[in-house]
Amino acid sequence: MLDVTLKKRRGDIVLDVAFTCRRPSIMVLFGRSGSGKTTIVQMLAGLVEPDEGVIRCGRDVLYDSGRRISLPPEKRGAGIVFQERRLFSYISVRQNLLFGHRFGGRPLKEGAFDKVVALLGLERLLHRRPNTLSGGEGQRVAIGRALLACTSFLLMDEPLASLDQERKDDLLRHIDDIPGNFGIPVIYVTHSRRELNGLADDVLFLGRERVTPAAKTAPLYPGGDVPTGRVRSATY
């Protein structure tokens, strides 16, 4: 269970969000560019300090402004996939996948490596260098690296934005399988309705007005398949 309440002032607007992500599920942060989606991911990862709020993952308090607790990024147990793949070019795909275990001391469960490699279809890429991978292959490796390093929750910040439609469809299938296979909450940022429809168990809409989830979700799900929103507020 990931329980988040965050406030952050950016210029003259205030990002004010609260949500709960039950495990295992995919919580989609949906909104236009500039709506603060990436800032939320950065705050969850510990890369940006919120003005105030609380981030709890199960029993662990990762951030609590009132109690002056702010764990550094390496102690939050998160995995992250960025829009760009951000792979380490001086080591092989195998070493990239094991980066969190080897250099970050993250535990590696027995059989986890083989499971991730099989799930993402990375068998033939293991000895290659990241610079020789295509866009889709590189992003699959980035997802694998994050999955193997992740012990608490997985953050995905528009991971498909730079790929063509065919690669997107292929990776969507892989991403959809993650919560069921690994039992972790996934926070997924996108501005694509296609990705929202394909992945969301829960959804947090970010807009410029106070959001009424039902009003926003209804037109997106004409078939009535509306995800159970856990949005408490998303205000500017």
Partner 1 sequence: MSFPVWLTVKTCVACVVLHALISIPIALWSSRSRGLMSRAVSFIVTIPLVFPPIAMGFILLMLLGRRGPIGIPLEQYLGLRLVFSEAGVILAAFIAGVPLMVRPLQAAMERLEILHLEEAARVHGCPPLMTILAVTVPQTWNTIISGFLLCVARASGEVGITMMLGGNISGRTNTLSLEIFNSVTRGEFDVAVRLCAILAGAGLILYVLMEKNRTKEL
CA–CA separation, 90 and 68 (whole Å) = 38
Write down the H helix ranges in the chain.
Answer: 37-45, 93-97, 99-102, 112-120, 135-149, 165-182, 193-199, 213-220
Is 88 among the residues that bind partner 1 (CB under 8 A)? yes
Q: Give the position of tokens 């969000």.
A: 17
Is 52 among the residues that bind partner 1 (CB under 8 A)? no
**Strand 2-10 to strand 52-57: parallel, antiparallel, or no bridges (unpaired)?**
antiparallel
Stretch that binds partner 1, among 115-123, 145-153, 177-185, 209-217 (CB under 8 A): 145-153
**According to CB under 8 A, which one of 31, 79, 138, 229 is a site residue for partner 1?**
79
Helices 112-120 and 135-149, packing angle to 10 deg: 150
Contacts of 2 (CB under 8 A, 6+ apart): 20, 21, 23, 27, 55, 56, 57, 152, 153, 185, 187
Is 80 among the residues that bind partner 1 (CB under 8 A)? yes
Is 78 among the residues that bind partner 1 (CB under 8 A)? yes
Interface with partner 1 (CB under 8 A), residue total: 29
Query: How many C-beta neighbours within 10 Å does residue 156 have?
Result: 27
Is 45 among the residues that bind partner 1 (CB under 8 A)? yes
Is 136 among the residues that bind partner 1 (CB under 8 A)? no
| Interface positions, 168-227, toward partner 1 (CB under 8 A) | none
Stretch that binds partner 1, among 26-34, 87-95, 181-189, 223-231 (CB under 8 A): 87-95
Is 165 among the residues that bind partner 1 (CB under 8 A)? no
Chain residues binding partner 1 by CB under 8 A are 45-47, 72-74, 76-80, 82, 84, 86, 88-91, 99-100, 103-106, 131, 145-146, 149, 155
